[in-house]
């Protein structure tokens, strides 16, 4: 079953680029049609009608009402062939309005249902616009529906409508980084501290005592002999013993904390204001009293 996909592009050149992309995807050129002001319609019995394009004789002027009506008739015939005369979807008028405003409408007939998604992706990749978003923008400017009798947009009107107002929104991204906040360096030195200790020392000295005596001598007193008495004294002996009385353990520990970052982000808002038009005065033919 053949299905027809429609896509809107901002220019005829973009639509042609999309056509080339589809042909590269294997879609036959005969299954692709571009409807636009700048499109050529080389059909039997019709002339080449290029609206507002450059020809061999120079640059043509704005689209005439006749050329615009011819373009409208062709698109009407196209949608009549798709949907018939009755019960046309509302979206049909949106597509016609897009062409009136200078866009290009590309239609592609897809015979293989499995290729529909691939064709749709190729159209979006080529720059197809979101028609729903575009219609929403038109409605904010007063668009109420497609009017067949409305004139085609001039080049100036197309350029004015294509002017983009960027909507900017800043986002706050909070990351984290590791910084050096200092540290601890530990030194080990040998220190000397004066100390004093008291110790009691004992000494032994020989004593000689002479006592006066008056008694008869005995044989024991007449013997020779000797007695030796040694003197002793205690001296202070100093010995130092090193003992570990404390250990300093060097390491590091990690902890986590939550920090709330307060800042402001900037953005822009685009406000659409409806500007009412002015109704020009009506000139009257004085002879026939009829509006001109």
State both tokens at 87.
């019960």
The C-alpha atoms of residue 237 and residue 239 are separated, in whole angstroms, by: 7
Answer yes or no: pTM beyond 0.85: no
* Domain parsing of the chain, residue ranges: 3-171+266-291
For the segment 115-130, the average pLDDT, to the nearest whole number, is 88
Average of per-residue pLDDT across 138-152: 84
- Note the pLDDT of residue 49: 32
Q: What mean pLDDT comes out for the span 111-130? A: 87
Contact criterion met (CB below 8 Å) for 214 and 181: no
Cα 76 from Cα 149, distance rounded (Å): 13
Q: Cβ–Cβ contacts within 10 Å for residue 33, how many?
A: 18
The pLDDT of residue 120 is above 70: yes
What b/e readout covers 110-144, taking b as 16+ CB neighbours within 10 angstroms?
beeeebeeebeebbeebbbeebeebbeebeeeebe
What pLDDT is stored for residue 47 in this prediction? 31
Query: pLDDT at position 19, please?
Result: 92
Q: Which helix (H) or strand (E) holds 204?
A: strand 203-204
Which pLDDT tens digit goes with each residue over 49-75?
Answer: 333 332 223 333 444 444 555 677 787
pLDDT tens column, 70-115: 677 787 788 877 777 666 777 888 888 888 888 889 988 888 888 8
How far is CA 84 from its chain centroid?
47
């Amino acid at each position: 079953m053949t299905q027809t996909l429609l896509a809107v592009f901002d220019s005829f050149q973009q639509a042609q680029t999309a056509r080339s992309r589809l042909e590269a995807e294997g879609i036959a050129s005969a299954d692709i049609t571009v409807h636009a002001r700048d499109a050529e319609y080389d059909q039997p019995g019709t002339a080449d009608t290029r609206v507002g394009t450059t020809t061999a004789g120079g640059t043509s002027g704005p689209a005439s009402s006749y050329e615009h009506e011819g373009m409208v008739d062709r698109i009407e015939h196209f949608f009549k062939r798709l949907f018939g005369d009755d019960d046309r979807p509302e979206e049909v008028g949106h597509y016609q309005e897009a062409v009136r405003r200078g866009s290009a409408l590309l239609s592609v007939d897809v015979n293989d249902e499995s290729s529909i998604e691939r064709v749709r992706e190729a159209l979006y990749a080529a720059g197809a616009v979101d028609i729903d978003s575009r219609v929403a923008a038109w409605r904010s400017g007063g668009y109420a529906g497609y009017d067949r009798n409305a004139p085609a947009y001039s080049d100036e009107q197309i350029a004015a409508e294509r002017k983009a107002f960027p909507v900017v929104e800043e986002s706050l991204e909070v990351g984290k980084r590791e910084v050096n906040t200092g540290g601890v360096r530990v030194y080990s030195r040998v220190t000397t501290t004066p100390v004093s200790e008291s110790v009691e020392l004992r000494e032994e000295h020989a004593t000689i005592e002479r006592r006066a005596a008056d008694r008869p001598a005995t044989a024991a007193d007449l013997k020779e002999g000797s007695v030796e008495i040694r003197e002793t004294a205690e001296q202070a002996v100093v010995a130092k013993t090193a003992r570990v009385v404390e250990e300093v353990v060097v390491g590091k520990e990690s902890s986590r904390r939550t920090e709330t970052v307060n800042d402001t982000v900037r953005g822009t808002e685009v406000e659409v204001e409806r500007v009412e038009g002015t109704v020009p005065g009506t000139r009257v033919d004085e002879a026939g009293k009829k509006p001109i």
